[in-house]
Structure formats: C-alpha cells, structure tokens
Amino acid sequence: MRFIHFALRNLTQRKVRTGLTVFTIAVAVAVLFTLLSFNKGYSQALHQQLQQMGVHAMVLPVGCPYEAASLLMKGGKIDNHLPEATAATVADIDGVQIAAPAFMSAIARPEEGRADVFFGIDERTFDLKNWWKILKVRKDPRELQDNWETLAADPANRMSRAEFVEAMQDPNAVILGFDASLIELSSVGDEIYVPELDRVFRVAGILAPTGQQDDGFFFVPLRTAQEMFQRKGEITTVQVRFTDPARSAAITEELEKIPGAEVVAMGELLGTMQNLLGSARTLILSIVLVVIAITTLGVLNTVLMSVFERTREIGVMRATGAEPGHVFQLIWTETLLMVGIGGALGLALAALGARAIEGAIKAALARMEMLAGVKGSVIAFEPRIFVLCLLFILAVGAVAGLYPALRASRARPIEALRSE
C-alpha cells in the first residue's frame, strides 16, 4: 500500500504527461476491445444468420448464383425466374426433406427512400422455417416491441400450421415481418392499401422478430405474388432442406443437374464468408500488433522520461537508505497503475460507446456489402474479452516498465545526486 501511495503521488505531480499517456492507453484498449469484440460478434452473427435460415441450399435461375443469393438475403430484386414445376423436381431428389418454392419482388417507394419487398410463399415455407413465431393477437406493433417475447411464448398467441394454411388460401392475406409492421403501423386485422396495384391486403399475422431479412418482408400467398407481378407459373427460388446435411455435396450435385438452374449451398456461402472473415482477421491482427507496439513504446518513453527527470530524487532515496528493490517496485508500480487506469477507462469508453461504434461498423460494412442480411449485434461483449484486454494492458505495463525500473534501481547514489 505504501508503494501505491507514493506511486499515485508521483503520477499526479506530472499531470499533463500522465494524463496524455493514460488517454493514449485508453484509446488503444478501446480500439483493441472493439476489434476483438467485432471479430467474435460478426462471426457469430453471420453463422447464426445462415443457420437460422433453416435452408441448406437455394436453387436459383441460371445466372450468377452468389450475386442472386446475396440479393435474396438483402431483400433485393431478381429479374430471372424458374418454372414453378422446378420445386416438384427438387422435392423428388433423394435426400431432400423440404423444397419450398418462393416468389420475391419489390414495389419501389422512392419518395420514402425504400422498397416494399413482397415474398410469395406457401405452407412449405412454414415447414422449412418451423422456428418462426407468427403472432395472431391484435396489438399495436409499437406495443409489441416491448412484450413480443412474452406473447410469443404462449402457443395460444401464435399461428398454428393449420391457421397458416388457411391464411394462405386467402389471396388478400398478408403476414408482416416485424419491421414491416412498424413501418406500416398495422396490426392483425388491419387493412393495407397498395396503390400501385389498387389492392387491399388484410393483415393475418405479424412475424415475431427474427433478426434476419424476414423482418422487413410482406409475406403473401405464392399465387398472389405471381399475379401481382404478372409471373404466373414462375418462381424466384426453391429453398431446400436436406434430410441429412452430411450428404450435402451429393445432393447438391443432383440439384445442379436441373435444367436452367444454379445451386448455392449454404455451406459454400458460409465458406466464402469465412474466407472473408479470415482476411478480416489478418487485418485485425495486424492492427492489434501495431496498437501493442505503439502502446508499449509510448509507455516505455513516458516512464523513461520520468526516471531521467527524477534521477536526483532517486539518488536521495538511495542515499537515505532505500534499497534497489524498493526503487524498482516504486517505478514498476507507477507504470502498472498508469496502464491499469488507462485500461479501465478504455474498456469503459468502449462499453459506453458500444452503440455508436457498432453503428459506424455496420455503416462501413454496408458500404462494402459485407452485411449480407446479417442483423442484430455484430459486436460480442463477452467477459473473457474484457479480461483479455485487461491482461494485455497489464502485460504491456509490466514489459514497458521493466527496463526503466531496472535502470532506476541500479542508479548509484553519488552519481545520481550530482545530476541536474
């Protein structure tokens, strides 16, 4: 405790230098924490996004399958189409458990800066996405924001498969994704007028938040979507679930034999994204190494300057009976205190500015088209990352403070007292 008291006193005597060093350390730790949290969070969000789709492969029209898959995931528009009979062909392939046809297109709302994406489906999509929770209770969507989890937990508030099938038999029924319901401010039973089609839809249900692109869609019966966009007998994609994902390669090979179709296996898409993540990790590692080097040199320079300026003071300490070990402990304690305070401030800054930081990261990823439908948090605030960052900065302090502390402890009292 005595060394901590003296160390704090010495640090406060040089407020400007100590403050600048602590600030530099805080920024370095905040950057390090954010990079590590993003590396973990983005990987988790991407993997969860692909897993929760409930889809092992997508059969798409001939063209650019990866681009088409990306457009689908982001709610884009695809101009090429497949015959609706393709779904039956896919379903007949050995190893295919569910083949759900879908038709997707959009109505532009340039005055509102958005597009309403209509997704035509049938009961096979309900089977494919059996984790969906479609609320059938009549409540303002703004109220649902606060208690949708409680409502969705009660089966009585959720649409059953039979009720879903019945709803899809109504050509004017629509199930709103949660974000879409907030935009339209519509609840179950309300009517939505689409002026471009001069058509009125009745809200049959609201899809509880999924954290995916589904949240922004307008789900209508498959036949209705085909009629709306004058594409009778055509579909945009067939979403496929395999009986055994381990046979993915063999089943995909059979799917690729379908005339006029391209296949995107989710495993391939995940692999492509993982490669991108690998490149991102390399960049993150490089930045982390630079941060470590700059922080270490900064702390080393600050402590060395302090030792040089206090040479006479150290000489007095030695002349009045202080052992070399006492001097070493004092300088080392000062260093660890400085980096500890800076590290704590850095973690606090990163935690308090999490929303702003995540918003900036998402905006940058969107510009690079790397979000690919990923919603939810891309920064993982895990306790072990906090601990790792604290250990990192303490290790930097221990290493950076070692040489100055040794130098100070080896100072000869007479020579130190002669210095100016």
**Lookup: tokens for 98:** 């569910």
Name the E strands within 217-369.
217-221, 234-235, 237-242, 261-265
390 pLDDT higher than 70: yes
The percentage of the chain sitting over the pLDDT mark of 70, rounded to a whole number, equals 72
Q: Which residue has the higher pLDDT, 352 or 215?
A: 215
98 pLDDT higher than 90: yes
Q: Which residue has the higher pLDDT, 224 or 214?
A: 224
**Lookup: tokens for 343:** 């590290």
**Lookup: tokens for 262:** 């391209």
SS3 content of the chain, % helix, strand, coil (to 5): 60, 15, 25
Highest mean pLDDT among 103-117, 225-239, 257-271: 225-239
Q: Which residue has the higher pLDDT, 395 or 360?
A: 395
Quote the CA–CA distance of 220 and 190 in Å, as a whole number: 15
User: Residue 334 — φ and ψ, nearest 5°?
Assistant: -60, -45
369 pLDDT higher than 60: no
Query: Which run of H or of E encompasses 134?
Result: strand 134-135
Quote the CA–CA distance of 143 and 185 in Å, as a whole number: 11
Which residue is it, tokens 């209509």? 118
pLDDT of residue 7: 58
pLDDT band at 73 (very low <50, low <70, confident <90, very high): very low
Q: Which residue has the higher pLDDT, 420 or 199?
A: 199
Q: How far, in whole angstroms, is CA 320 from its chain's centroid?
A: 59
pLDDT digits (tens, 9 = 90+) for 160-214: 999 999 999 999 999 999 999 998 889 999 999 988 888 999 999 999 988 777 8
pLDDT of residue 244: 84
pLDDT digits (tens, 9 = 90+) for 287-316: 777 877 787 787 777 777 776 766 666 666
Buried b / exposed e over 218-237, threshold 16 CB at 10 Å, is: bbbbbbbbbbbbebeebbbb
Residue 395: what residue type?
Answer: A
pLDDT of residue 127: 92
79 pLDDT higher than 50: yes
Q: Which residue has the higher pLDDT, 265 or 118?
A: 118
Highest mean pLDDT among 58-72, 108-122, 356-370, 398-412: 108-122
pLDDT band at 271 (very low <50, low <70, confident <90, very high): low
What residues contact 48, with CB distance under 8 A and at least 6 apart? Answer: 211, 376
* 103 close to 222: Cβ distance less than 8 angstroms: yes
Region 142-171: what's the mean pLDDT? 90
pLDDT digits (tens, 9 = 90+) for 318-348: 666 667 777 777 777 777 888 888 888 888 8
Query: Which run of H or of E encompasses 275?
Result: helix 266-309
